[in-house]
Amino acid sequence: MEAARSYTLRELAEACDGEVVGDPHVLIRGVGTLQQAVAGDVTFLTNSLYRDLLRDTCASAVILGPEDRNATELPRIISANPYACYARVAQRLFPMPTALPGTHPSAVVDPTAQVSPTASIGPQATVGAGAVIGPAVVVGPGCVVGDRVVLDEGVRLYPRAVIYPDCRIGARSILHAGTVIGADGFGMARDATGWVKIPQVGRVVIGADVEIGANTTVDRGAIEDTVIEDGVKLDNQIQIAHNCRVGAHTVIAGCTGISGSTHIGRNCRIGGGVGMVGHLEICDGVTVSGFSLITKSITKPGVYTSSIPSQPHRVWMETLANLRALPQWVQKLKAIEQMLEKPKEE
């Protein structure tokens, strides 16, 4: 993909404090993988295993680590963290699209809402009573910003994000299309008439520099708040239940569900399709493998897993049959043990 304009390699290197080796004036207008880059693209090498691909790349420049400094003769940016360097270079080439300040005439903004003059409220968006929309905020088409919601500076809501009343989103956070923040948690009490709804009177409070994927849902607290701390990144289709806390810089991959009142520490890495039961305390620095289930609190950093990779159906069916029969096999094994021990005693 082509950027709106070209940059010299030097300009791009400045974005990530990288060192230029070779022609700093080469003009870059796009990014590409080692294999598919074309002239004008910058590419990157983050794993020396792919050095062979580097030889044949058509890119005009490369970002790589000091260990690969001489692996190419192309103009290049040397960085101790080439992947983060690539991220910043790509951000320079492809900045977030700006939105015209002002409110689209089709949007419905409550007269008591405070909207910064530098904010952009898109077509058919709705902004509720008492909401506060900070500077440089972008509210996309069809978004619904509830009463008294606060969007800090630079928040970006993609189309049709919904934020229920009283929730708060920190600076520069990004919410993708279809996210729902602050819906009622799943709280009810049983009595003779059926289930009685427990009013969910807490809020969702989201920190700064958070990104939340498409169609992800974060429920408001039952009494206290549900909290997503600074720098958290949530993928698509995640469900965070009421009263949860997700610690700073933790990342969670798609389709994961976190049950109510579970607190996840900082700098955790939670895989996709994971489940966590409620009321757990997960310490900082925990990694959970994709498709695993967490049922107990975790007090030590490390990797936790319960997923089972697939096998050809028949092989798995045999294993499963043996698994089911395990109690019998264990009985037999115990019987053999006893039989073998007895003679000794005699």
Stretch 171-210 residues interacting with a second copy (CB under 8 A): 174, 176-178, 180, 183-184, 186, 188-191, 194-199, 201-203, 209
Q: Are strands 174-175 and 233-234 parallel, antiparallel or unpaired?
A: unpaired
Instruction: Point out the residues that are catalytic.
Output: 242
List the x/- string, 125-154, binding to a second copy by CB under 8 A.
-x-------------xxx-x----------
> Does 306 engage in binding with a second copy (CB under 8 A)?
yes
Of 53-61, 70-78, 92-100, 131-139: span binding a second copy (CB under 8 A)? 92-100
> Does 71 engage in binding with a second copy (CB under 8 A)?
no
Query: Whose CA is closest to 94, among 222, 2, 208, 226?
Result: 2
**Shortest Å distance, C-beta 118 to a second copy:** 21
Distance in angstroms (rounded) separating the CA atoms of residues 308 and 69: 41
**Out of 310, 338, 342, 346, which residue is the one contacting a second copy (CB under 8 A)?**
310
Binding to a second copy (CB under 8 A) within 149-168 occurs at 158-160, 162, 164-165
**Shortest Å distance, C-beta 246 to a second copy:** 13
Distance in angstroms (rounded) separating the CA atoms of residues 297 and 287: 13
> Residues 266-277, buried b or exposed e (16+ Cβ, 10 A)?
bebebbbbbbbe
Residue 56 in 3-state DSSP? helix
**Shortest Å distance, C-beta 22 to a second copy:** 22
**Out of 299, 309, 342, 345, which residue is the one contacting a second copy (CB under 8 A)?**
309
Binding to a second copy (CB under 8 A) within 36-65 occurs at 36
Distance in angstroms (rounded) separating the CA atoms of residues 339 and 331: 12
* Residues in CB range of 232: below 8 A, 6 or more apart: 207, 210, 211, 246, 247, 248, 249, 250, 251, 252
Distance in angstroms (rounded) separating the CA atoms of residues 45 and 22: 17
Distance in angstroms (rounded) separating the CA atoms of residues 29 and 279: 50
**Out of 103, 173, 237, 262, which residue is the one contacting a second copy (CB under 8 A)?**
237
Q: Between residues 23 and 198, which has the closer beta carbon with respect to a second copy?
A: 198
